[in-house]
């Protein structure tokens, strides 16, 4: 019972953020990836917030780790796997726990997913412009090897260990 109540509270929090996002001024005008920005606000901001700051205990911030992921081949694959297959279970970002369910966005095309991830990496997490942006072929490659949401989380744990980030 309490689990359902928690879920209800989470959905309400998501709705409240979505409602406030709908009336907020559009501050993505200077984005390097404007179509990724529009897709992020439509599909992701409900949980991660318009600026990617996340929500305590529920959705992790996207403002730091993705900049580390983009510089490593397995990190690039991790970004693609997360949006293609979702992620489920406890994760840690900068010593804080998050445990909710990230839905999959496989219905969005390879180009659209590359562009929303590039918005996350370069506009929200401010990765160095020396890093190569993700492209549709990398998303397509990850789409060819389906994984479950829990396996995506395990892949993330191995990646964080390899990058020397705490998990
Ligand atoms: C319903 C809420 C929800 C929505 C909508 C959502 N996410 Fe997530 N996202 C999460 C949760 C929860 C996690 C952590 C998963 C876990 O707890 O196992 C996560 C994790 C992530 C991560 C991994 C961060 C890390 O440190 O490894 C990325 C990247 C990400 N989301 C990007 C996106 C993008 C891009 C979109 C839109 C296309 C999106 N998310 C939409 C809830 C959401």
What local confidence, expressed as pLDDT, does residue 42 receive?
98
The verdict on the CB of residue 67 being under 6 Å from ligand 1 is no
The verdict on the CB of residue 121 being under 6 Å from ligand 1 is no
CA dist 23 and 65 (Å) reads 29
Query: Which tokens hold the place of 125?
Result: 């997490």
**65 closest CA partner among 137, 129, 103, 117:** 117
The verdict on the CB of residue 142 being under 6 Å from ligand 1 is no
Beta-bridge partner residues of 92 = 97
Beta-bridge partner residues of 96 = 93
Q: How is domain 2-163 classified at the architecture level of CATH?
A: Orthogonal Bundle (1.10)
Q: Kindly report, residue by residue over 103-146, the tens digit of the pLDDT.
A: 999 999 999 999 999 999 999 999 999 999 999 999 999 999 89
26's torsion region: left (phi>0), alpha (psi -120 to 50) or beta?
A: beta
Mutational test site, ligand 1, from 51, 87, 97, 167, max ligand atoms within 8 Å of CB: 87
What local confidence, expressed as pLDDT, does residue 166 receive?
74
The verdict on the CB of residue 69 being under 6 Å from ligand 1 is no
The verdict on the CB of residue 33 being under 6 Å from ligand 1 is no
What local confidence, expressed as pLDDT, does residue 20 receive?
46
- What are the average pLDDT values for consecutive 10-residue runs of the chain, which has 167 residues? 48 47 61 97 98 96 98 98 97 95 98 98 97 98 95 97 88
Query: Which tokens hold the place of 57?
Result: 């205990």
Span from the CA of 100 to the centroid of ligand 1 (angstroms): 9
Domain segments of the chain as ranges: 2-163
Span from the CA of 118 to the centroid of ligand 1 (angstroms): 14
């Amino acid at each position: 019972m309490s689990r359902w109540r928690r879920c209800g509270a989470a959905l309400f929090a998501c709705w409240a953020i979505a409602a406030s996002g709908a009336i907020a001024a559009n501050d993505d005008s200077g984005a390097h990836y404007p179509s990724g920005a529009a897709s992020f606000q439509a599909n992701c901001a409900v949980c991660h917030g318009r600026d990617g700051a996340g929500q305590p205990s529920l959705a992790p911030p996207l403002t730091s780790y993705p900049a580390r992921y983009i510089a490593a081949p397995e990190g690039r694959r991790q970004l693609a796997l997360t949006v293609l297959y979702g992620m489920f279970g406890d994760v840690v970002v900068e010593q804080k726990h998050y445990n909710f369910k990230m839905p999959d966005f496989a219905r969005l095309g390879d180009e659209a997913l590359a562009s929303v991830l590039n918005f996350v990496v370069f506009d929200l997490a401010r990765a160095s412009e020396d890093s190569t942006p993700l492209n549709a072929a990398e998303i397509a490659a990850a789409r060819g090897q389906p994984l479950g949401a829990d396996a995506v989380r395990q892949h993330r744990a191995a990646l964080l260990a390899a990058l020397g980030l705490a998990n």
